[in-house]
Amino acid sequence: MSREINREVADILDKAADMVYLSREDALTLMGIPLHTAECYALMETANRMSRERFGGKGENHYHIGLNVEPCPLDCQFCSLTYKAGIFTAENKIEFPLDQVIAWAKEAEQYGADGLNLMTTGNYSFQKLLDVGRILSEEVAVPLVANTRDINHREGEALLEAGFVAAYHAVRLGEGVVTPLNREKRIQTIKVLRDVGLSWANCVEPVGPEHTAEELVDLMFLARDHGAAYSGVMRRINFPGSPMEPYGMISELEMARLVAISRLIMADVPDAHCTHEPHAASLLAGANLFFPEVGSSPRDGQADTGKGRGTGIEICQQIQREMELDPDLPSNCYRVKINLSVNS
């Protein structure tokens, strides 16, 4: 026998479905909903409906290319690409050859990828990133997204000049504690991106069981308040020997619950809503954006994650189609800049 859901939760879901901005109190009420309850499935259904209506049933795929593999001096505790992790050393560092990067980019374009996310470690040359961007801009028509260190206005303008339309930049959970980076400097970079005209791409990450409802909601509101082109949730993947391994990992179902809460908080702000790593559950909870991966990855002990944890674009699209999202529809992200480049 079905039962009515809690009236307070129902009122919050109705408000969210009308694209009314939720309060922090509303969000914390949603964070208190347990898995395997009628309220949880109502939450996920609301987020699913919001995204399918707003994004038109589109399945987005933003193709991740990690450009280099070498021990990063920043030593973020959740990352496999650090000195402390000891997985990669200076002796076996790799900068993937330009021919390989171009081949990956052309594969992404061939399969209809909606974005190319170029990721680098903290010690990768910014000038090299610009050079790769300029070359790929000539080789493929897929929008370029930078995933690099904190930048200033001059560097943001240089990214635009090199052909990038967006940058992925997250204030990570535990910033300044499990990372050496300053939260306010991360937020300043987000403001720089908006000032210079780059779209800001984001995710609440990397989520583990130890993170509180308040921490998670704080970053969900940061994404909404600063106008992220997309946001969502990525769980932490604990590589063997990770300092975070004792904390464990959240399940894909728990990630789907958090994806749904994030989607309700984002309201009418985003052009897509992401989850990582690719899986089906979050596609029933408001997510429509996956990240197929090749090259380096902070979640993998393989130099080329395409041969390790990374999910290929064909599999991502297959999962989306099985959940009745269409990856062949036009992208909802970076539309203004795409149109400008086409008309110029």
Joined together, the tokens standing for residue 214 give 């308040």
On whether the CB atoms of residues 63 and 142 are closer than 8 A, the answer is yes
Give the H or E element holding residue 269.
none
Within a domain: 196: yes
Q: Strand, coil or helix: what is 206? A: strand
| Residues 6+ away with beta carbon under 8 Å from 205 | 170, 172, 173, 233, 234, 235, 236, 276
* 39 occurs within a structural domain: no
Amino acid letter, residue 241: G
Task: Let me know: does 236 contact 208? Beta carbons within 8 Å.
Answer: yes
Task: Round to whole Å and give the CA distance between 342 and 344.
Answer: 6
Query: Per the domain annotation, does 1 fall within a domain?
Result: no
For 117-146, write each residue's pLDDT tens digit. 999 999 999 999 999 999 999 999 999 999
Please tell me the total count of domains within the chain: 1
Asked if residue 318 is part of any domain, the answer here is yes
CATH for 133: 3.20.20.70
Question: Which domain does 177 fall in, by range?
Answer: 50-343
Q: What is the pLDDT of residues 298-344, one digit of tens each?
A: 999 999 999 999 999 999 999 999 999 999 999 999 854 333 333 33
C-alpha triplet 235, 109, 273: angle, nearest 5°: 30
> Which of 195, 178, 270, 192 is closest to 232 using CA atoms?
270
In order along the chain (344 residues), what is the average pLDDT of each group of 10 residues? 86 98 98 98 98 98 97 94 92 94 98 98 96 98 97 98 98 97 98 97 98 98 98 96 96 98 98 98 98 97 96 98 98 61 33
- Phi/psi for 287 (5° steps) reads -80, 145
**What would the pLDDT profile of 185-200 be if each residue is shown by its tens digit?**
999 999 999 999 999 9
Report the pLDDT value the prediction gives residue 183, as an integer from 0 to 100.
97
38 domain residue, yes or no: no
How far is it, in rounded angstroms, from Cα 111 to Cα 109?
5
SS3 of 283-337: HHCCCCEECCEEECCCCCCCCCHHHCCCCCHHHHHHHHHHCCCECCCCCCCCHHH
The pLDDT value recorded for residue 92 is: 85
Angle between helices 24-31 and 7-17 (to 10 degrees): 120
The answer as to whether 136 is a domain residue is yes
Q: How far apart are CA 278 and CA 234, in angstroms?
A: 10
Domain-embedded: residue 28: no
In which region does residue 180 sit, left (phi positive, over 0), alpha (psi from -120 to 50) or beta (all else)?
Answer: alpha
Q: Are strands 60-66 and 115-119 parallel, antiparallel or unpaired?
A: parallel
Residue 299 lies in a domain: yes
CA dist 290 and 75 (Å) reads 26
CA distance 312 to 11: 40
Structure tokens at 87: 């997985």
What's this model's pTM, rounded to 2 decimal places?
A: 0.95
